[in-house]
Amino acid sequence: MARLVMKFGGTSVAGMERIRNVARHVKREVDAGAEVAIVVSAMAGKTDELVALCNAASNHYDPREYDAVVASGEQVSAGLLAIVLQAMGIAARSWQGWQIPILTTRAGGAARISSIEGNSIIAALKAKEVAVIAGFQGVNEETDRVTTLGRGGSDTSAVAIAAAIKADRCDIYTDVDGVYTTDPRVVPKARRLERVTCEEMLEMASLGAKVMQVRSVELAMVKRVKTFVRSSFDDPAGPCSGTLICDEEDIVEQQVVTGIAFSRDEAQITLRRVADRPGVAAAIFMPLAEAGINVDMIVQVASDDTVTTDITFTVASGDFDRARAILEKNKAQVGYAALQGASDVAKVSAIGIGMRSHAGVAAIAFKALSEKGINIRAITTSEIKFSVLIDAAYTELAVRTLHSIYGLDKG
């Protein structure tokens, strides 16, 4: 008998009619004889509303209370779906993170799952009861307090539950029918991928494609959870299309570039005339790391006077002010002349496992972007992707340009 985890995101449970439609998807699997555990997100917009309430309550809220507030959205949708399933004659029960329990680390608002006790859910499934689990939340093992997993965290809840109960598959139901070559809401010519490798999906997610949370892809890779992305808006009784996240050997025809991702959540910092001496990079980046600020692209310009150099790097836009404040505080210690910052920048990336074996892939992009008059502020490359930092105003043009030069446009 198949054991399935079905995850439904915020737009899929955004109102009673949508929850009823979700219940029809669940009924189809139950009728086919599967054991089913569901993971639900809060109704669309709910988490944003709860985060705004925390900010309205105080600028310096206690992260544990933030967790207590924002975890409530998932509790509501889990309860509502259980009620609707029961009304359809399907045995169902809602579960919150602490009831399973889903144990997590402490970090408020960005906890990581440390372990899941799968037996209670397995017992419910064996008793022919659908388990409707509130996504995004867990409980801290030391403090017993409710925690949340970071925005988009229900994907991670779903994959982690699938691993814990040894599910045959984890189906991520969302508002698009799979993973596309780029965000289909931005590029109408984007194509759905039948299959995408875990490595590419991981890069796409970390470079801005929010269709799956990064942690969930990492977990699917490590725990070998078979993951399928599909739409909850498809007719529950009709044929289904979607994207299977798989291993490299399962891809028959490999493209050089598989997808284009982008992120507007970037800020650029340039330090001018930095003293060019050993230890200067550590003096800049250690305090940022200690403050939990992730630095992404780093470009150091070799100057001809060899006394000073310019260093440019990027941080998430949410960390921009903090990063600047830290650098300004350490100005004398680092030894630089001026700090310049820009938050109207975006990172556009091309991802493809085929880049490993093809030279000159990025060069084509640089030429195409220059022909469109788009200036590149910084570049990073790795084995299966490259990223360019550009002015945010050109994001869509750059994404469309790269999408088309790599032959990804729908025919």
Least gap, CB of 101 to Mg ion (angstroms): 23
Least gap, CB of 315 to ligand ADP (angstroms): 22
Q: How far apart are alpha carbons 38 and 195 in whole angstroms? A: 23
Q: E strands, 145-186, where?
A: 146-148, 169-174
DSSP string, 245-269: EE-GGG-SS--S--EEEEEEEEEEE
Rg of the Cα atoms in the chain? 23
Nearest residue (CB) to ligand ASP, 28 versus 64: 64
Least gap, CB of 152 to Mg ion (angstroms): 4
CB 178 within 8 A of CB 192: yes
What residues from 23 to 62 belong to the interface with ligand ASP (CB under 6 A)? 41-42, 47
Least gap, CB of 23 to Mg ion (angstroms): 20
Nearest residue (CB) to Mg ion, 97 versus 152: 152
Instruction: Check residue 10 for interaction with ligand ASP (CB under 6 A).
Output: yes
- Partners of 247 in the β-ladder: none
Least gap, CB of 211 to Mg ion (angstroms): 7
Instruction: Check residue 12 for interaction with ligand ASP (CB under 6 A).
Output: no
Stretch that binds ligand ASP, among 149-157, 169-177, 228-236, 349-357 (CB under 6 A): 149-157
From the CB of residue 78, how many other CB atoms can be counted at a distance below 10 Å?
A: 27
Residue 96 binding target from ligand ASP, Mg ion, ligand ADP, none, CB below 5 to 8 Å by type: none
Stretch that binds ligand ASP, among 79-87, 146-154, 244-252, 310-318 (CB under 6 A): 146-154
Residue 42 binding target from ligand ASP, Mg ion, ligand ADP, none, CB below 5 to 8 Å by type: ligand ASP
Least gap, CB of 213 to Mg ion (angstroms): 6
Residue 211 binding target from Mg ion, ligand ADP, ligand ASP, none, CB below 5 to 8 Å by type: ligand ADP
Residue with tokens 């938050």: 343
Nearest residue (CB) to Mg ion, 227 versus 270: 227
Least gap, CB of 78 to ligand ASP (angstroms): 12
Return residues touching ligand ADP (CB under 6 A).
Answer: 9-12, 41, 152, 174-176, 179-180, 182-185, 204, 209-211, 259
Q: How far apart are alpha carbons 366 and 358 in whole angstroms? A: 16
Nearest residue (CB) to ligand ADP, 10 versus 101: 10
Provide the phi-psi class of 45: left if phi over 0, else alpha when psi is between -120 and 50, else beta: left
Least gap, CB of 9 to ligand ASP (angstroms): 6
Return residues touching Mg ion (CB under 5 A).
Answer: 9, 152
Provide the phi-psi class of 93: left if phi over 0, else alpha when psi is between -120 and 50, else beta: beta
Q: Which one of residues 154, 270, 314, 395 is an interface residue with ligand ASP (CB under 6 A)?
A: 154
CB 283 within 8 A of CB 333: yes
Nearest residue (CB) to ligand ASP, 72 versus 330: 72
- Partners of 388 in the β-ladder: 348, 379
CB 76 within 8 A of CB 94: no
Q: How far apart are alpha carbons 37 and 78 in whole angstroms? A: 11
CB 178 within 8 A of CB 230: yes
What residues from 58 to 97 belong to the interface with ligand ASP (CB under 6 A)? 73
Q: Which one of residues 20, 64, 145, 151 is an interface residue with ligand ASP (CB under 6 A)?
A: 151
Residue 272 phi, psi (nearest 5): -95, 145
Residue with tokens 């985890």: 5
From the CB of residue 256, how many other CB atoms can be counted at a distance below 10 Å?
A: 16
CB 71 within 8 A of CB 134: yes
What three-state secondary structure class fits 190? coil
Least gap, CB of 337 to ligand ADP (angstroms): 40
Nearest residue (CB) to ligand ASP, 80 versus 345: 80
Q: What residue ranges bind ligand ASP (CB under 6 A)?
A: 9-10, 41-42, 47, 73, 135-136, 151-155
